[in-house]
Amino acid sequence: MRCELCRYSTSSGGGWRSSQAWGRLASFALAGAIAVGAAAVPAAPAMAATDHRPVTITFWNWWDGERATFMKTVIEHFHEQYPWITVDSKVQGWTGVQAKIMSAFAAGVAPEVMMAPRNQILALADMGAIIPLTKYIQRDKVDLSMFYPAEVDAFRYAGQQWTLPLPTVTANDDFYFYNKDAFDQAGLDPNHPPETWTSFEEVGLKLNRRDGSGKYTQLFVNPGPHMYLDFLFSNGGYPVSSDLRHEAISSLRSKEALNYLYELGAKVAGPQAGPFMASNPNAFLKGKLVTLFENVSLVRSLVDMAAQGQPLNWSVGLIPYNEKNPDARSTGVAARGFGWGYVIPKGLPPEKEEAAWLWIKFLTTDKYGTGYFSFMMGRPSPVKYWNQNPDYRKVNPAFDRILAAMETDRALPAIPVVGDITDAIVNNLWGVAAGTASPVDAGNNIAKQVQNILDKYWAKAGR
């Protein structure tokens, strides 16, 4: 399973390079100077230090490398607003992330605020190890409409809200990057990428290039298993039933999406695509791959390339939809198992719990906590208002299209076994994506596995 956060961790080999372009735009309008018609996100009331006893909270997170510097700035501004609260930030290593989180809760040594992947947050909620934030959200009148809908839905489970969005579970699988120059060279309109299943396939056949031996020199798309969910959602389908108890892989909409993924692999890409495109992001950045179904973190690499004098003329298109289905429309997939959030363990002293909540609220709604922090990472904020910062558009020509894609997103089911469900899907679709395995057989296997996962979960849950 892909991980948009760890892809750029310093330990993963990518590293967060300091971008000249983003550095020049570090004058982010944090004082609310953005001229917009919408109301600003309301600031929390300032409180005097004498009104509260000093309290220290430990904050486990994976904001390493350059992001640690950004987080330090966030903490400094939080302390200005809440001077009695000290945040002790502990950046964690990438070895055994999930085991480290679960063992901390099992041993009763979890920090006051823990950053954790979505599937583990749902599992911890199911175990009763963390507290829901619903009562605090209601008490402080946090307007959840400030967020993109899927950002909130991704962490709503058993009637409760377990965290607020951090950057981000949207803007990950709701659009594709494309090379505008390749479109232009083929006589296609570079400002109007294909929007439907048929047009995407037709354009793809026009943009493949081969040498005299038949080997690809330019490939339109290299299909991957994760794209099945993109096509399923954009065909009006969903992997499970609305009550989360039954698989929906065997539905008509799912079968159509599986067949389309197979057709892309067999007809558009071909069996030589996989070995030639061993690294999709690098192939796209080098101009050899025309389209790439990837998340918004790639923007930072594109901005860096431009700053280094190697610009790529790129934009984004929305996920293609099945135009033969009147109910289909481009729909993004939010919160594949790797979405992250901040949680509070159960059983803290009241003053610690209150401080932990104030820190999470600041991280997820404040102009520094999510406005500045998201911008400095080159990512849109889960809070719509902060994305009105015009500096985003100075380095990201497709920023408004990305925001439009985020509005379309639908979250994967908020159930603790969602990671197991997505794993079952991905693990069975490599051959289908390559155009070498039967989509019918793969669909049957996935349907059986997903239903088995759901049956076991609900039997254990006893409800």
Domain CATH code at residue 228: 3.40.190.10
Dist CA 200 CA 190 (whole Å)? 13
In a domain, 457, yes or no: yes
42 and 149 part of one domain: yes
48 and 122 part of one domain: yes
Q: Are 319 and 330 in contact (CB under 8 A)?
A: yes
In a domain, 417, yes or no: no
H-helix segments, 286-437 = 298-307, 350-365, 373-376, 391-395, 399-408, 418-427, 430-433
In a domain, 422, yes or no: no
- Reported residue count of the chain is 463
Q: Which domain holds residue 321?
A: 175-331+428-461
Share of the chain above pLDDT 90, in %: 73
In a domain, 76, yes or no: yes
In a domain, 47, yes or no: yes
Q: What is the pLDDT of residue 385?
A: 94
pLDDT tens for each residue of 102-135: 999 999 999 999 999 988 999 999 999 999 999 9
167 and 183 part of one domain: no
Dist CA 396 CA 355 (whole Å)? 36
158 and 242 part of one domain: no
19 and 161 part of one domain: yes
How would you classify the pairing of strands 156-157 and 216-218?
unpaired
Q: Are 293 and 167 in contact (CB under 8 A)?
A: no
Instruction: Count how many domains the chain has.
Output: 2
pLDDT band at 272 (very low <50, low <70, confident <90, very high): low
359 and 291 part of one domain: no
Query: What angle separates helix 418-427 from helix 118-127, to the nearest 10 degrees?
Result: 140
| Terminal alpha carbon distance of the chain | 29
pLDDT tens for each residue of 293-321: 998 889 888 988 988 999 999 999 999 99
Q: Which residues contact 32 (CB under 8 A, 6 or more apart)?
A: 40, 367
**Choice between 59 and 9, residue whose per-residue pLDDT is larger:** 59
306 and 350 part of one domain: no
Q: What is the pLDDT of residue 274?
A: 59
In a domain, 129, yes or no: yes
In a domain, 277, yes or no: yes
159 and 180 part of one domain: no
58 and 141 part of one domain: yes
In a domain, 420, yes or no: no
Closest by CA position to 60, among listed 117, 19, 145, 2: 117
pLDDT tens for each residue of 23-68: 555 544 444 434 333 445 555 554 544 568 999 999 999 999 999 9
182 and 308 part of one domain: yes
76-85, 228-237, 270-279, 433-442, range with the lowest pLDDT = 270-279
Q: What is the pLDDT of residue 215?
A: 84
Residue 240 DSSP label:
B
Dist CA 237 CA 255 (whole Å)? 10
436 and 395 part of one domain: no
